[in-house]
């Protein structure tokens, strides 16, 4: 963990309600990953218990519909989080999250 990570945690709305000590604890257990444009971060139908926070870049949430093909549900930008439903209640992901730009 470094000072830059702590500074980033201060800018994430979902973490603002935490004390500085609690934010530090979150950063200490977090892993940082990078994704190339077009790379899937989570896949519809798969299961994982990860809470994701976009630090840099943009990604999109896409659900595959059997009748209409892929449906774009949302775009995720820096400081937004996703994966919270599967994180708190283990269940298969209801959509793909795909990097649109380089994502960290």
Contact 13, 77 (CB under 8 A): no
Output the 3-class SS for 7-41: HHHHCCHHHCCCCHHHHHHHHHHCCCCCECCCCEE
Q: How far apart are CA 59 and CA 6, in angstroms?
A: 23
Per-residue pLDDT tens over the stretch 90-104: 888 889 999 999 999
Going along the chain from its start, the domains and CATH numbers come out as: 1-30 (no CATH), 33-104 (2.60.120.10)
Per-residue pLDDT tens over the stretch 14-46: 888 888 888 888 888 888 899 999 999 999 999
Reading the block at residue 47, the tokens are: 């299961």
Name the more confident of 89 and 7: 89
């Amino acid at each position: 963990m470094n000072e830059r990570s702590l500074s980033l945690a201060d800018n994430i709305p979902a973490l603002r309600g935490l004390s500085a000590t609690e934010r530090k604890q979150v950063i200490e257990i977090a892993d940082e990953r990078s994704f190339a444009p077009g790379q899937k971060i989570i896949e519809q139908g798969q299961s994982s218990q990860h809470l994701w926070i976009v630090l840099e870049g943009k990604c999109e949430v896409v659900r595959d519909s059997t009748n209409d093909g892929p449906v774009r549900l949302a775009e995720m930008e820096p400081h937004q989080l996703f994966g919270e439903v599967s994180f708190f209640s283990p269940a298969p992901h209801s959509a793909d999250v795909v990097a649109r730009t380089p994502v960290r």
